[in-house]
């Protein structure tokens, strides 16, 4: 019988995955999108015919476009989730909770739930979905990022694929039962030859390889001394970083690695060796895109896939102001740096550079997470740090057998 796939989401990545999966043989694809009238609009668009993935023809690549369509798109989990072998979450992390709650009644112990990407704290969140521990009940996979750079061109019809990653690291937490189809192989078959999935040993490796400090550090480096006056142009985001920002990233990356090493020192049976320094990570993952690999600064500044990307800005008369209420902070702090900080706090490791970004970033988005260097702020309950789910010890963090009380 076919591999039954449910794609959760209605954005760029969900479009890409829905077409890609539907184009594979022996695969049945359904889509769950809970947001506004997306399900209705997408269903209507499908009446026009198959969807298209248009691949970028830059760099002389000539990959033929894909054409296919999902069997159904719905806002009702009861219509598309039951019987799914794999449920793929392809939405920004703030939407994960809503989707987890929606699918929970319809999954079983053979279901594989995939965060694509999972983003830090995905597993902690899965441990308590309305009191249900999905980590024990299902198989949970988490990937470090989306496999592609992609943008919807026409909703429910065409998605532009701008780039495909070479590798994609993912973790797997095994549930009570063996899934009906082998999860890693199934997922690789859905993606095709690229990106090549690299399975890591521990889910914390994916959390620590999120490098959630990158976007906040770029914003901090650019705007920390800003006088509040509109500027003449939109500054380049990655290509515009300076030595200060690159050095700050290096220091933050050291703290991520130190936390991995501290965990391994306290629990020698835990292997987190896949966690790399940010510079090494760039050189591995963007090998073909980096023109000058001589330093982290140059590797970022000369990365072709970042060409032309600018800071999020709004126009004020004929000038520009930065927008801080943007996913670079609203997502990378509560679903990123705060989660890392929570892990560091459990391990008892100081992280002054990441704290600096957290302190600055939380002010910019009007939240309070960190108070006097501890996660005691009033908004911690909106984050995905382990403490929010009642995880306070290293043992709970690592295997999480304990069921936290519902909150």
Q: Is 387 in the site for ligand NAI (CB under 6 A)?
A: no
Q: Which of 343, 335, 319, 339 is nearest to 393 (CA)?
A: 343
In this chain, which stretch among 88-96, 188-196, 240-248, 316-324 interacts with ligand NAI, using CB under 6 A?
Answer: 88-96
Q: Does 97 bind ligand NAI (CB under 6 A)?
A: no
The token duo for 103 is: 């699918």
Q: Which residues contact 384 (CB under 8 A, 6 or more apart)?
A: 93, 119, 120, 121, 122, 124, 125, 334, 335, 338, 339
Q: Interface with ligand NAI includes 303 (CB under 6 A)?
A: no
Piece of 59-67, 90-98, 202-210, 286-294 that binds ligand NAI (CB under 6 A): 90-98
CB 238 within 8 A of CB 249: no
Shortest distance, CB of residue 8 to ligand NAI, whole angstroms? 9
67 given a catalytic annotation: no
Distance of alpha carbon 60 from alpha carbon 233, whole angstroms: 32
Closer of 27 and 210 to ligand NAI (Cβ): 210
Left (φ > 0), alpha (ψ -120 to 50) or beta: where does 308 sit? Answer: left
| Surface-to-core class of residue 235, CB atoms within 10 Å of its CB (0-12 exposed, 13-18 middle, 19+ buried) | middle
144 lines the binding site for ligand NAI (CB under 6 A): no
Determine which one of 215, 261, 311, 349 is catalytic.
215
Is the omega angle on the peptide bond into residue 48 within 30 degrees of 0, that is, cis? no
* CA distances from residue 235 to 69, 149, 220, 229, 311 in whole angstroms, order as listed: 39, 21, 13, 14, 6
Q: Confirm or reject binding of residue 170 to ligand NAI (CB under 6 A).
A: no
Mask for 103-132, x = binds ligand NAI (CB under 6 A): --------------x---------------
- Min dist CB 188 to ligand NAI, Å, is 19
Query: Interaction with ligand NAI in 6-65: which residues (CB under 6 A)?
Result: 9-14, 33-35, 38
Report, in Å, the least distance between residue 149 CB and ligand NAI. Answer: 4
3-class DSSP state for residue 193?
A: coil
Which lies closer to ligand NAI via its Cβ, residue 91 or residue 135?
A: 91
Binding of ligand NAI by 336 (CB under 6 A): no
**Do the beta carbons of residue 274 and residue 264 sit within 8 Å?**
no
- With CB under 6 A as the contact rule, the residue among 18, 31, 129, 150 that binds ligand NAI is 150
What stretches of 23-110 show up as alpha helix (H) in DSSP?
Answer: 38-46, 77-80, 96-103
DSSP 196-216: EEEE-S-HHHHHHTT-TTHHH
Q: Where are the beta strands (DSSP E) in 181-338?
A: 196-199, 313-316, 319-322
- The token pair at 302 is 């000369």
Shortest approach of ligand NAI to residue 274 CB, angstroms? 19
State which residue, 34 or 385, has the beta carbon closest to ligand NAI: 34
Minimum CB separation of residue 40 from ligand NAI in Å reads 13
CB-nearer residue toward ligand NAI: 252 or 335:
335
CB of 151 to ligand NAI, least distance (A): 6
User: What amino acid positions are annotated as catalytic residues?
Assistant: 215
Given the rule CB under 6 A, which residues bind ligand NAI? Answer: 9-14, 33-35, 38, 90-93, 95, 98, 117, 145-146, 149-150
């Amino acid at each position: 019988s076919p591999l039954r796939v449910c794609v959760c989401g209605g954005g760029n990545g969900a479009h890409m995955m829905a077409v890609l999966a539907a184009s594979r043989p022996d695969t049945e694809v359904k889509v769950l999108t809970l947001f506004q009238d997306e399900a209705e609009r997408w269903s209507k668009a499908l009446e026009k015919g198959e969807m298209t993935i248009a691949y970028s023809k830059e760099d002389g690549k000539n990959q033929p476009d894909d054409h296919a369509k999902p069997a159904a798109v719905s806002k009702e989990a009861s219509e598309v989730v039951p019987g799914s072998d794999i449920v793929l979450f392809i939405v920004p992390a703030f939407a994960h909770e809503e989707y987890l709650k929606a699918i929970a009644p319809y999954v079983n112990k053979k279901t594989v739930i995939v965060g694509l990407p999972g983003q830090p704290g995905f597993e902690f969140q899965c441990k308590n979905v309305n009191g249900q521990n999905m980590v024990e009940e299902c198989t949970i996979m988490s990937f470090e990022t989306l496999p592609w750079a992609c943008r919807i061109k026409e909703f429910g019809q065409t998605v532009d694929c701008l780039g495909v990653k070479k590798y994609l690291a993912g973790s797997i937490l095994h549930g009570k039962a063996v899934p009906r189809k082998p999860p890693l192989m199934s997922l690789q078959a859905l993606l095709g030859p690229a990106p090549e999935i690299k399975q890591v040993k521990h889910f914390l490796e994916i959390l620590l390889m999120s490098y959630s400090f990158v976007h906040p550090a770029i914003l901090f480096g650019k705007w920390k001394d800003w006088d509040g006056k509109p500027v003449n142009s939109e500054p380049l985001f990655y290509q515009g970083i300076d030595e200060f920002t690159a050095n700050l990233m290096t220091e933050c990356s050291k703290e991520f690695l130190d936390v991995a090493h501290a965990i391994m020192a306290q629990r020698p049976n835990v292997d987190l060796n896949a966690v790399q320094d940010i510079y090494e990570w760039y050189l591995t993952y963007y090998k073909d895109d980096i023109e000058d690999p001589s330093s982290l600064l140059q590797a970022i500044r000369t990365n072709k896939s970042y060409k032309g990307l600018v800071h999020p800005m709004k126009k004020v008369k004929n000038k520009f102001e930065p927008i801080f209420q943007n996913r670079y902070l609203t997502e990378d702090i509560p679903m990123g740096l705060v989660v890392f900080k929570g892990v560091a706090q459990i391990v008892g490791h100081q992280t002054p550079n990441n704290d600096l970004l957290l302190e600055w970033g939380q002010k910019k988005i009007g939240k309070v997470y960190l108070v006097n260097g501890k996660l005691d702020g009033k908004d911690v309950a909106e984050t995905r740090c382990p403490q929010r789910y009642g995880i306070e010890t290293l043992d709970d963090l690592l295997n999480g057998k304990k069921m936290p009380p519902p909150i």
